Structure 1
């Protein structure tokens, strides 16, 4: 896949998250301040992740050193769950995770987020309504 197709593909998921959050806001006749603020935070964080993704794509094409950062896996999993919560709720699917300890891992946080996001999103997509997705 050429670089422009790869960039387009990688940006589709964050845009889908933003669209899903906006759809939730548009579909509700009344929304609590707390729900509104929560939705806006997800949109804001997703926009920041898109920016990070673009930065990472640019850096990856120039420098491989960002592939060895220490990753906070638990934080990445929490972000993935929060970003996919709206989509999961539409299918009445519960998202959860459990960890005995936060493992030490090295890599690229944006790429790890994308990998976990894609795995969980696919699990939601193909799971029957009312199921559970657990990350361990």
Structure 2
């Protein structure tokens, strides 16, 4: 029976914490998995030489990080292709229940600004 590097729960969690929607989110989860693998392999393997075997964890980690970068770039390009602008209805006056103070206007309790100027003059 094959042994997998990540459990289903681990992959589910990578998908949950990835931002984005649709395939972009899946690509970011894949990039996170590759980055996790790169760090693990880089720390474990390092550079090992025996009589007939040589491993280089840094090269493997670099290759895995390059793969993660490719998945991240693909996710970014997918998001760039989505709508970049949203049209909303124009509201000339504040909505009910939102006083001017909550929309960036000075509150009535402030009678003067720094330098002694009257805030009411701003309105």
TM-score, normalised to structure 1, is 0.33
Question: Counting strand residues as a fraction of each chain, which structure ranks higher?
Answer: 1
Question: Higher relative CO (CA 8 A, sep ≥ 6), structure 1 or 2?
Answer: 1
Task: Determine which structure has more spread, i.e. the larger CA radius of gyration.
Answer: 2
Question: Counting helix residues as a fraction of each chain, which structure ranks higher?
Answer: 1
TM-score, normalised to structure 2, is 0.36
